[in-house]
Amino acid sequence: ASGFPLDGQFAIVKRCKEKSTGVEYAAKFIKKRQSRASRRGVRREEIEREVDILQELQHPNIITLHDVYENRTDVVLILELVSGGELFDFLAQKESLSEEEATEFIKQILNGVQYLHSKKIAHFDLKPENIMLLDNNVHLPRIKLIDFGLAHRIKDGVEFKNIFGTPEFVAPEIVNYEPLGLEADMWSIGVITYILLSGASPFLGDSKQETLANISAVNFEFDEEFFGSTSELAKCFIRQLLVKDTRKRLKIQDALNHPWIKTHERLEDNSATVEAQMKVESQQLKTKRLKEYTIQSHSSMPPNNTYVNFERFASVLEDISLVEMGLENVAQKRESLQDDVEALLSIYCEKEAWYKEESESIRQELSQVRYEFRKAEVLRKGLQEDLRTTDASLASIDSRYLTREAHLSSLRQELYAELR
């Protein structure tokens, strides 16, 4: 259990704007591990794995990577801005939720996962916090799967084991440290669907150890209190996903072809299909427990999968949630201010170090220039002396030349006289 990392421990996400276009993006700052001995930060190979996977992904239901930057302390992923919030928060605001609406969102999740699995990529951290909406101001918002920090390529013939993820949503093979594959994502989809339809978490215990024990034993049931209005098709879909044996668990294509998903795709001429669809559509699921689950998951209260107390203290809980939201806003603003101060301090430290390096570099260059100048001065003086010596030599040669020329002229006249 100690192997499960804390979410967001070494990464923060901020909104940013590209100056040249004005387009807004999300900037994910991932703190780099400075040394192999350090436990703070993310190892470089893990960051590179996330970047490599994101660069390969282009799908409507998966967040898009725009660019990557790096400084001394962080790798910054410039990602598509997903501003619609979490899917569960959006659905919890509704008075009720039909299974048809639920399947529309589940199908989008399945489409994104199908694309990943077609490339032999497992997400390994599918949970409500990582299922976002591109924009929540439309009738049917588009799902976006985010956070590929734990994603891995599954290679044929290569055994892969690890203990990671969020305990509430991990598959039994992760808990039991068994070989992992794409099937782990399908288990997580089963847990997400269970919560979406009921507001209760199937395996959540009073402690992390109890949660993991429930998962390993596949200890869950469809409590009538939570699933009284849920169709048998929906329960069948969940049962076929929450299977311990990975060979018997639904594959992604089987999930997309499941009657519960297919029933809501389009009305067929077949009257039996129409009747089944109308029956399912008439079942409205109350979102009160889903709202309580989202409040619970976002608050600091100890986790619990029993919601009887919420029924009794619903009004008190709503008041507390309002106070918590106010406190959360204050905390976020404080954290934002703290982040800005730290960023300014970091920039100052980087600039100070840079100025020191530049100053030292310029001082060394100036010293070298002075040395070269002194060498040039010595060389110039030597050349001047050589020039004076050369001038004297040239004057002497010129004098001797004139003497020889006069002598030659005399000899020429004598020879001419003798010849005559």
Q: What is the pLDDT of residue 275?
A: 46
Q: What is the pLDDT of residue 378?
A: 92
Q: What is the pLDDT of residue 80?
A: 95
Instruction: State the average pLDDT over residues 225-242.
Output: 94
Instruction: State the average pLDDT over residues 191-197.
Output: 95
Q: How confident is the model at residue 2 (pLDDT cuts 50, 70, 90)?
A: very low
Give Cβ neighbours of residue 247 (< 8 Å, ≥ 6 apart): none
Q: What is the pLDDT of residue 321?
A: 64
Distances from the Cα of 264 to the Cα of 92, 100, 113, 115, 186, angstroms: 21, 6, 19, 21, 20
User: Would you say residue 164 has pLDDT above 90?
Assistant: no
User: Would you say residue 136 has pLDDT above 70?
Assistant: yes
Please, what is the average pLDDT of the chain? 85
Q: What is the pLDDT of residue 357?
A: 84
Q: How confident is the model at residue 285 (pLDDT cuts 50, 70, 90)?
A: low
The three-state DSSP-derived secondary structure of 280-304 is HHCCEEECHHHHHHHHHHHCCCCCC
Instruction: State the average pLDDT over residues 380-394.
Output: 91
| Kind and range of the H or E run holding 87 | helix 87-92
3-state secondary structure of 74: strand
Edge-to-edge order in the sheet of strand 24-31: 11-17, 24-31, 74-80, 65-70
- The structural domain count of the chain equals 1
**Taking a C-beta distance cutoff of 8 angstroms, is the pair 239, 245 a contact?**
no
Is 105 domain-assigned?
yes
Is 19 domain-assigned?
no
- Quick: pLDDT tens for 172-181: 999 999 999 9
Does this model's pTM top 0.75? My answer is no
Q: What is the pLDDT of residue 283?
A: 55
Is 200 domain-assigned?
yes
223 as an active site residue: the answer is no
User: Would you say residue 121 has pLDDT above 50?
Assistant: yes
Q: What is the pLDDT of residue 319?
A: 63
Which tokens is 403 given? 């003497």
User: Would you say residue 304 has pLDDT above 70?
Assistant: no
User: Would you say residue 168 has pLDDT above 70?
Assistant: yes
Is 406 domain-assigned?
no
Burial of 299 (0-12, 13-18, 19+ CB in 10 A): middle
Q: What is the pLDDT of residue 37?
A: 74
- Quick: pLDDT tens for 243-253: 999 999 999 99
Q: How confident is the model at residue 263 (pLDDT cuts 50, 70, 90)?
A: confident
Higher model confidence: residue 296 or residue 214? 214
Is 184 domain-assigned?
yes
What range defines the domain where residue 142 resides? 84-312
How many CA atoms are closer than 13 Å to the CA of 365, on its beta-carbon side?
A: 6
Q: What is the pLDDT of residue 291?
A: 81
Q: What is the pLDDT of residue 9?
A: 63
**Taking a C-beta distance cutoff of 8 angstroms, is the pair 276, 99 a contact?**
no
Is 238 domain-assigned?
yes
Q: What is the pLDDT of residue 286?
A: 62
Which of 74, 89, 125, 147 is the catalytic position? 125
- Quick: pLDDT tens for 46-64: 999 999 999 999 999 999 9
Which tokens is 53 given? 């996977």
Is 163 domain-assigned?
yes
Q: What is the pLDDT of residue 274?
A: 41
User: Would you say residue 298 has pLDDT above 60?
Assistant: yes
Please, what is the end-to-end C-alpha distance for the chain in angstroms? 130
User: What's 276's domain CATH number?
Assistant: 1.10.510.10
- Quick: pLDDT tens for 329-369: 888 888 889 888 988 988 888 888 888 888 888 989 999 99
- Quick: pLDDT tens for 4-48: 333 456 789 999 999 999 999 999 999 998 887 777 889 999 999
Q: What is the pLDDT of residue 3?
A: 35
Is 260 domain-assigned?
yes
